Structure 1
Amino acid sequence: MVTGHIVRSGVMAAGAVFAAGVALTPAHAADDIRQAITDGKVAIDLRYRYEYADDDAVSKDANASTLRTRFGYTTAAFYDFTAALEFEDITVVGTELYNSTLNGKTSYTVVQDPPLTEVNRALIQYDGLADNVFRGGRQRITLSNQRFVGNESWRQNEQTYDALSVVNTMLVDTELTYAFLTHVQTPTGVTMESKSHLFHGTYSGLPLGKIDGYMYLLDLDGTNDSSTLGGRFSGKQVYDQWTSLIYGVELAIQNDYADAPNSVDANYFAFEIGGDTSGITVMLGYEQLGGDGTYGFQTPLASKHGFNGWADMFLTTPAAGLEDLYGSVGTDIGTLKVLGVYHNFSPDSGGGDYGSELDFIVTQTFARRYDVGGKLAMYDADSFAADTLKMWLWVSTAF
């Protein structure tokens, strides 16, 4: 695995500067530093998960039993600065009977939860300039609905970014975000070098919803380089205690950038509408990732598991593109949540059908901090990939 040596060096340098500062600053400043440390907060996050995966194209089914442990600490403010450090460990419980993509066990079905220990976050934040938040270091970045930039929280190893970022809220009902990425810590345990720029803005002052506009200039290790320009409108109208209307539409264009080939040229379109009545939510949606047989619209930094089916058959968009027509029904009964989703997949160009998928999830929260859940994904192949069944059981808590 390639490691984020720049961040490690930065953390060591920050530690040296901090130690020197304690030794050389006046007594009252040293007291302030000590108070910032002693008044800080510790955070612990645990999630055990069992995943079963059966891909008909692979000889052996996967049985992945893993425990994710996060241990983090955030200081209190020191002259408008705070610092955070978080470690993440993924441990195999029992025998490693799956292909993690790093362990060489290619006879097993893939489960992208490799065992590893890493620095998940290491950053300094500055809040001293009104209506601005500056962050430098390894950090979590999620934009809009995470269709293009997210932390892929479903995987045991969270996706984080070595970056400089600023969030500005100076304008009424407006949030502007810029980030420069130097590395991407992917869920598979591989670090991608980056010289990427993220521009994102949200305006929420409209009566019918909010508008997101964005430009993502991705320069990622020579792969998945692209320029994406787009916008999203989404909203929810509440009519009474029991009834609401939910809707959203999004458009984007993707072209070549940095070292991308000239063939990078594709469009994106998504539309969703639904409603909630008497505690039952029904949604219908359509998503199109364009493709011409040479190149398909890609979203390499997205929280991909939440889109195009939980069986993860379309983490990389096929060259012929992807059309996903889907519907869902869900309900909440107290802290019990139940959801079912159906997908029909087809290529954007060339005709035919890829396949269909049926997904179910049930989750329950206990005592506000303990979560248990079960999840099922059944992909029925037509012309793309092979029949695939995946099942998950988990329990998690955070302190």
Structure 2
Amino acid sequence: MTIPQGYEELTGKKVPPGSVCRLHRSLYGLKQASRQWNHKLSAVFFNEGFVQAHADHSLFVKTTSTLFLAALIYVDDILLVGNDEAAIAHFKYVLEAAFKLRVLGPAKYFLGFEIARNAQGISLNQRKYTLELLQDAGYLGCKPVTVPMEPNQKLSESTGTLLPDASVFRKIVGRLLYLTHTRPDITYAVHKLSQFMAAPRSDHLTAAYRVLRYLKNDPAQGLFYSSSTDLALTAFSDADWATCPDSRRSITGYCIFLGDSLVSWRSKKQPTVSRSSSEAEYRAMADATCELIWLTSLLKSLHQSPSGPATLFCDNMSALHIASNPVFHERTKHIENDCHVVRERLQSGFLKTMHVKSEHQLADLFTKAVQPNVFKTLTSKMGTHKLFIPS
């Protein structure tokens, strides 16, 4: 660390030019501080018999034949769950002995997420966060719209004029990205907008404001996780071939359910140009398969296992044939080996693939801006719910 101002006057010692301080402990604000804090906090968990999950290093689990405790950590915020009140109370005491601690009781608000529980399950939403976003943007009294993006809208790097102040656009999109944790319905629109952070234009800002108008329609919409669901993993993958007007790369979209609860979803541009729609769909299947592998590992960290092989739905028969048929094909020999994780997991019995009609393809919501009637149908099957209707 550089020598603090006033050090020489306070100590009376002359410090040679170029000298630095060697610290005996970490200080707040250093680049090493967060790692040192995590190391110290983790040591307390390890001393109490917790094991750090390989699938997620922010998750710590402690189990015996009768006990289950799990703690989820974000810096210095901790969620603790378990089946034994005495064990939970004991660990709170351990934490209070090691750190200055504030126990807030049953989880109702965590990192911008509002949590509600009843006998049927748990709901998550970001209503307060959404209303603050609308207020800061001046859109709290705007006229709502029914879809976050105009159907089949094609934004590109050259549409509109350059914004004189890009910070307005970047701030909105940055906050929208965090909102996608409970709003799968805006994921595609936000993914599309995030591609123009470097040089946003007027059309991009207009599209961002439309997302805000959509949020005004249902600011408290969120996800519901049923307490009676089974542990079957079901995935839907889709791709929109060569849809990017600037790079001609395809868009991957997938969503994954644990029982009837949506637990993972994504919309992303593929890293390379695909030579056919089948290739684009196969790449999307590979991404969904990798996410299924990770979710299975996460369940095992919680000492749970999926009830049978994971099911992956795709609406492209050619991609399904590529996955299930290990024969060398002239038209597919150029596809990278990592995409064949689908074929490998099929052969091992981890995964089974099934065809789904395009009108029932839930992942379509993550690859393009669809018509309002299609949007309404697909979002109704996502497990989202509405807790609040604005007046």
TM-score (ref. length: structure 2): 0.25
Larger RCO, structure (CA 8 Å, separation 6 or more): 2
* TM-score scaled by length of structure 1: 0.24
Indicate the structure with greater strand content: 1
Give the greater-gyration-radius structure (CA): 2
